[in-house]
Amino acid sequence: MSARLTLATAGRILRQLRHDRRTIALILVVPTVLLTLLRYLYDNSPQLFDRVGLIMLGVFPLVIMFLLTSVAMLRERTTGTLERLLTTPIGKVDILLGYGIAFAVAAAVQAAIAATLAYVLLGLDTLGPAWLVGVIAVGNSVLGMALGLLVSAFANSEFQAVQFMPAVVLPQVLLCGLLQPRDQMAGWLQAISDVLPMSYAVQALTELGAHTEPTGVMWRDLGIIVGCVIVALLLGAATLRRRTA
């Protein structure tokens, strides 16, 4: 692994993102629009918005980054860009980490804008500090990016990459504790929920919504999120193919 090659890859991806207005809109505009719709959906129930909006502040970026990165990496393979890169001294880990750094920067900007909108303009109110909510939102975005890079290795077309979203992301949305507390689920569903990374992302945000200070559970969940990101990136590097058949 070479830090120089990793940073060069990250720079290339950031330059591509800067010139892609649709992608910028998807990253920066869509989460804010969805949060705004959610705010006025619960216009007569501000306390309900505080609960649901806080969770969605982490879920929306995760879903968007998953979709974006799975398609972006697949495009690198189908256009032959990845095959050309791998004929150079750059390694698979350098490529994946470069992608990770580039999209982590995008995720940080995305989370900062969404959190600022939620707290300043939409009136989101949480007991925990807003800056820590932003940190976890960034972590969720990076988690979505890592999962997207991982599943892209198993898709042969952009359509197939999109199909992974209901297969990988939607079950996590259903079982993460948003619709029903995890401890009130059937035992076998709770067991599945316990191994899904989004469950810990949502639980970390819920802890901040219920406590004025960071709790041990929140730090543990944040550590699990970081661990899942690292594992997903390493697995993505191990399964990365030069070209889609």
* Tokens encoding 30: 């869509």
Is residue 175 within 8 A of residue 193, CB to CB? The reply is: yes
Stronger pLDDT, 33 or 154, i.e. the higher one: 33
Confidence at 71, pLDDT banded by 50, 70, 90: confident
**pLDDT one-digit tens code per residue, 98-135:** 877 888 888 888 888 888 888 988 888 888 888 888 88
DSSP alpha helix (H) spans, 45-129: 46-78, 81-85, 92-116
Is residue 236 within 8 A of residue 99, CB to CB? The reply is: no
Return the pLDDT at 145: 84
Closest to 76 in 3D by CA, of 141, 19, 147, 153: 153
Return the pLDDT at 239: 67
**pLDDT one-digit tens code per residue, 144-176:** 888 888 887 777 777 777 788 888 888 888 888
Cα–Cα distance measured from residue 232 to residue 222, given in angstroms and rounded to the nearest whole number: 15
**pLDDT one-digit tens code per residue, 205-236:** 989 888 888 899 999 999 999 999 888 888 87
| C-alpha pair distances (Å), 106 with each of 71, 94, 112 | 16, 18, 10
Q: What are phi and psi of 72, to 5 degrees?
A: -65, -45
DSSP alpha helix (H) spans, 79-215: 81-85, 92-116, 130-152, 158-164, 170-175, 187-193, 197-210
Closest to 123 in 3D by CA, of 201, 212, 43: 43
Cα–Cα distance measured from residue 154 to residue 239, given in angstroms and rounded to the nearest whole number: 8
